[in-house]
Every structure is written in C-alpha cells, then in structure tokens.
Structure 1
C-alpha cells in the first residue's frame, strides 16, 4: 500500500504531515474513538497558511473524512461527493467577487442549522474568510457562538492577513497553520496526480515559491510560462522614463485581457442559463407572465459577474507582483551573499546582473515598492495609479 492509498482523502494535502495528524485525530474523536479525547474535535476551525499552501484542499479533505464512515477512505460516495463539491451536507462559500456579503452568509447559516441528510455532520466550508464583510462576520459569529449540535464550520484565510478575520471569530476557532510545502513534495504530486513529465515538474516546483496551484499551471500551460518570463524581464527593461509607462501599460493590459477571456467564457453561458430558467423564448400568456419582474434577477447576475471580473483582474495583477517580489528577494539574497535557495534558480544570471547593478539595498527599496503596490490594490486604489507608481520606484530605485 502506498502512502497515498494509506492517507486516503488526505493524500493531496501536500507537505503538511503535522496538520494531517491533527485532522485525522479530530476525525477519530468525531467517530467516538475511545483512544482519542473528545476535545480533539471542535465545531469551528480556521485554516491559515501562505497562498498556495493548500488551505482549502486540507479543509475539504477534512470535511470528506468527517462525513466518511471509514474516516476518509477516498473511495466511498461521501468522499467523492465532498471532494467534488456535490455533497448534500457540505455547503461551500467560494467568493467570486471582492467580498462575501451578509445576504450570502445569512443564507448559508440558515441552511447550516438543519439536521444532516446523508452524513453525520452539516459542514460549512468558507474559502477566503478574510473577505467577509462586517455584516457577514456578525451573521457567522452568531452561529459559531451557539452552534447547532451536528454542524462544523471550516474557515480558510491566508496567514499574511489573519487579522482580516474578526478576532471574535478567531477566538472561537481552533487555528490550524499550514506551511509552505517543499519543492520535492510538489513535484511528486505533479508527476503522480497530473501525469507531468518529471523534469518539467521539478522545474515548476522549484520556481513556484511553494504554491501548488501555481506550479501546476506553470507545468501545464505555455502561456503561464510566457507570462512569468515577461514579468521577470521588467527589472531589466526599465531603462528610461518611457519604459515606466509602457511596462505598466503592458502589465495592466495583460491583466485586463486575461480577466476578459475568463469572464467571456463563463458569463455568457451563465446568462443564457438564467434567462432560460426564467422562461425566455417561451410563448403564450404563461411565458409572458413568468418573464415579468425578471429584469432585477438578470441585473443582479450581471452585477456579480462584474465584481468577479474585477477580482480576476486583481488576482492576475497580484500573481505578477508576487513573481516580481520573488525576483527582488533573490537579488537581496545574492547581494548579501546569503547561502539560501533562489526563488528563481533558472534566472541566476539575471539576478546576479541586478545585484551588481543596484545591490541589496537597492533591491530592498524596490521590493518595498512591489509590496506597497500589492497593498494599494488590495485597498482599492485604482490599479493604473498603483502600478505606475510602483514602476517609477523600480526605475529610480
């Protein structure tokens, strides 16, 4: 039996042995194992960790193990439906826009109070819980303070912003911190699960900074590799003032273009499905009556789609900024002569050239500019202003 078969649903929780042990102990407690104290299981959990560490993967695997009569075998209908997002007793909140609204959270909380239908638990899994609005946090807090007897709340939030989850909610959750998985573990799962060539898997894992999803995309998508190459060429391309604005424009145009492609692929199909469900294309008095008053529903969908497109554009920008910050981190390391692994080992010559050009101190100032740009965009500063200001600082140092 391989380790993957032995771990069952936890087999895809990469490089987190301590966290898996905690979760499996909690599952045993939930099944009333006499050898495990009941305190090992609680009604509310907060999964934290760096981007790409697998917070939502670990939370969903935990949900599957709680519903599975064999504690997460990975083969039964409970495991398959939870992992596939179709289990009747597992409610997933996956924000597509900038925030999770109070209306959406109230609806989920209301459903979570029901008794389980097919499994032993009613489970609410909230990805990116740091996006809860104040009203949504308050609605959730009431349920966590007085939870229904067979309900479990699983919240996920990045460790870089754990304070974005209200302290009252955090204080009522058991916090499980995940770490950055090592490149070898990422490469192994890319080969085993995704069938990627070992050499490509090793390269993708080495440059993904511990982000599993990023490694998978780099290994499988030529366009992703081209985008990475373009953004990591920016430090060497800023040779004049005109380059500042042209590079900023190219970065923003790329983000808008990718967001548009994703939106067009999803939005048209969603809108047609909704119109059909509301009776579009029908004839007769019944169809005309059913169509009345549907404009508001369509407008609400369009509003959500616009918010999702904005979120997608910002995610693309943030991914590029993360790549840039990794480059300047490497320059700092080389400038100081630190014996640490590079985030971009395939760009060692470019990193050394930048280190000789502006040194560790200059790289640190530029890294601060990149991080400030990320914070500005997160604070809803217009992306064009934030990116152009960053490029100016990267040019001037």
Structure 2
C-alpha cells in the first residue's frame, strides 16, 4: 500500500466540476494534470481543491472516464509544495507509483470486505513519512455493500493528516451517507476525439486509433484494449456488410458468425484476466500473505467485466450497422429529389431498419439472450 493526506471542508459537494467546457488539453500543460483529456471542469476543480484540501473526495462517473488517472494526479498535487508542478520529487514519486505516503488500495474480490476496509483504515492512521499527507485511493467503492458501515466510520473519524479519494462508477443507495461525508467530483464519458488524442499520444497508428476510439463507447480502458486487437477492423467491416449478406445468408447463420467474432473480440480481455488470476493465486499463497477474498470472487468480477465488454462490443456493431442504413436512407432521399420514385420506399425501409436496430440496442440493457436478439434482429432486417 501507499500513503497520503489532506483536510478542510467536510460534506461539501461540487457538482459543477463535471459540467465544465469539454476540451482536450488543460490550461497549464506542464503540471500533473497535463496528461488528462476531456475533463477540463474536473481538472479546474481539482486544482482549487489541492490548495485547500478536504479530508475525503468522491470521484463518480462512468467506467473509463479517467477517474483513477485523475486521482493519482490529484494525489501528486496534494503532496507537491506547488500544488502539482509535475517536476518535483514529490510529484515524480506519486506519478511513478513509488511515493510512500500514497496508496492505491485494491480489493481482492467482487465486493470490498470489512477486513479490507479495516486494513485501509490501519494504513490511513500511519503518520506520513514525508511532510505532506497520507493519501488513500479506493477504486470501485460502490462495491462495498457489506463494508459500507466500516468505511463510513473511518470517514467520520478521519486521522488528522489523511485524505481519502474514493472512486465509483455510480452511487447506489448504500453510499448516500458516505457521499455526504465527501467532496463529490463528477466525471463524464470521454468523447471519441478525447480518446483518439490519448491513443495517438500513446503511439497507436492513426487508423487503428480512430476505429478503437469510435468503438470504445466513451471508455478509455476499452479503447486501449481494442487498440491492440488486430481483428477490430475486420469486425467493423463485417457489420457494415451485413445488409448485403442478408440477401444470400440466413439470419441464424449470420447471428452465429457474428457471435463467433464476438468471442474472438473478448479473447484479449480473457487473457488479461487469466494473468491477473494467476498473479492473485501466487500472491495469496505466498509466505506471510493474508488472503482476503477468494478465487471465486475474482472469477465473478472477471465475468462481470467480460459481460460489460460484450455488451459494448455489440453496441459498437449495432452503431456501425445503423450508420450503414442511415447512408442508404440519405442516398434514397437524394434519389427522390432527383425524381426516383422508388427512393421514397427505400428510405422508409432504411428508417424502419434503424428503428429495429435501436430497439435491439435498448434490449442489451436488459441482459437479453445475445443469440436470440441477433437472430430476431437480422430476421427483421431481411424482411424490410
């Protein structure tokens, strides 16, 4: 674990910081926040907070919006005598992950356990080794149903020089009281252009970066995974060709081939999960290690992440399919303007296809059976 801290106004929530102007680069390009994109309002708020810190912050927003990266940058700004210059020893240590007073506390399983929260509290009560704060970053704190009371107690009786930075994708009911003890900072999904900037900066080739950004659903983590997927362009092309394929293939066979491609898409994530599980087993069984959470919990978390990836991948494909039918609609309407009597009928058909795709995309939120959903959709499209 690592460490860090800070203090002032308790219970204050800044809900405006997630609604600031959308932009890619920040006003100051040489500080700890310079690598963050798309969250200008958030960054401006964090710069202010670094000068007069409170004892607890709650970063909320969708997955892949940059909450963890922002938390690390914020921790550096809190430790820095100049509030995040980006070049001093304090900033460098935090950004490098080697600062003794800054900890990213990881849970072992699907949910935070009471033991894990108590261990975090124990670290929080250490005196900072440097002159600043003891800082604890706790990701995915919404997954703390059973441990919420222990976490609340820690926030209600914070050590004097400790700062908590809690991260959550959403705010379930059991977090309402915890939320009231924190300064809340709201993040929004990143735009395609935001993500494209990050990928290009990380050296991803332009075409692959663009395709990955468009397929990311605003999730930078997903975009980075897709950027290393050599089959992404082929899957995109297959979705775009689907209307033509429906003229010579059965809806069921196309649904089967689409799901096979989906299985291939999730393989890189499965490989990463396998490595993570092996590492967890090794660390849990090592000498002097106290095992918190079990293999089953890790596997359940992986299943949840893979399910989310599959849903995002299908939405990406359906969006590509929608663009194909929209192009057909526009072409048909242009034909009507040029006197093509059949164009109006073709345009209506394309609009009906777009509506059918939208309904299928909505059904993904209800955990619909993927095979049935695609077969039914492709059957509808073949008849329109």
State the Cα distance separating 1:44 from its structure 2 match: 1.4
The change in CA–CA distance for 1:388 and 1:187 in structure 2 (over 3 A counts) is closer
Whether the 8 Å CA contact 1:232–1:323 is kept in 2: the answer is no
Secondary structure class of the residue paired with 2:99: coil
* Residue of structure 2 equivalent to 1:154: 165
* Residue of structure 1 equivalent to 2:77: 65
The change in CA–CA distance for 1:272 and 1:157 in structure 2 (over 3 A counts) is closer
Secondary structure class of the residue paired with 1:120: coil
The change in CA–CA distance for 1:244 and 1:328 in structure 2 (over 3 A counts) is closer
Match of 1:51 among 59, 63, 67: 63
Q: Deviations over 1:364-391 (max 9, x none)?
A: 3212211111xx8xxxxxxxxx545644
* Residue of structure 2 equivalent to 1:312: 302
Residue 219, structure 1, aligned to residue 227, structure 2:
yes
Secondary structure class of the residue paired with 1:130: coil
* Residue of structure 1 equivalent to 2:330: none
* Residue of structure 1 equivalent to 2:11: none
Cα distance in 2 for partners of 1:147, 1:96 equals 24
The change in CA–CA distance for 1:191 and 1:268 in structure 2 (over 3 A counts) is closer
Match of 2:209 among 189, 201, 207: 201
TM-score by length of 2: 0.72
* Residue of structure 2 equivalent to 1:97: 109
Question: What are the equivalent positions in structure 2 for 1:8-87 lying under 5 Å apart?
Answer: 8-29=31-52, 41-87=53-99
State the Cα distance separating 1:212 from its structure 2 match: 2.3
Deviates more, 1:140-149 or 1:318-327: 318-327
State the Cα distance separating 1:250 from its structure 2 match: 6.7
* Residue of structure 1 equivalent to 2:20: none
Bigger relative CO (Cα 8 Å, ≥ 6 apart): 2
Whether the 8 Å CA contact 1:52–1:210 is kept in 2: the answer is yes
* Residue of structure 2 equivalent to 1:371: 365
* Residue of structure 2 equivalent to 1:136: 147
State the Cα distance separating 1:63 from its structure 2 match: 0.9
The change in CA–CA distance for 1:46 and 1:241 in structure 2 (over 3 A counts) is same
The change in CA–CA distance for 1:274 and 1:182 in structure 2 (over 3 A counts) is closer
Gaps (5+ residues) in structure 1?
Answer: 30-40, 279-293, 338-351, 377-385
Whether the 8 Å CA contact 1:208–1:215 is kept in 2: the answer is yes
Cα distance in 2 for partners of 1:142, 1:231 equals 51
Residue 356, structure 1, aligned to residue 379, structure 2:
no
Cα distance in 1 for partners of 2:377, 2:210 equals 31
* Residue of structure 2 equivalent to 1:324: 314
Deviates more, 1:209-218 or 1:219-228: 219-228
* Residue of structure 1 equivalent to 2:199: 190
More helix by share: 1
Residue 171, structure 1, aligned to residue 165, structure 2:
no
Cα distance in 2 for partners of 1:87, 1:42 equals 20
C-alpha RMSD over aligned residues: 3.9
* Residue of structure 2 equivalent to 1:122: 134
State the Cα distance separating 1:249 from its structure 2 match: 7.1
The change in CA–CA distance for 1:196 and 1:84 in structure 2 (over 3 A counts) is same
Whether the 8 Å CA contact 1:331–1:354 is kept in 2: the answer is no
Cα distance in 2 for partners of 1:123, 1:306 equals 30
TM-score by length of 1: 0.70
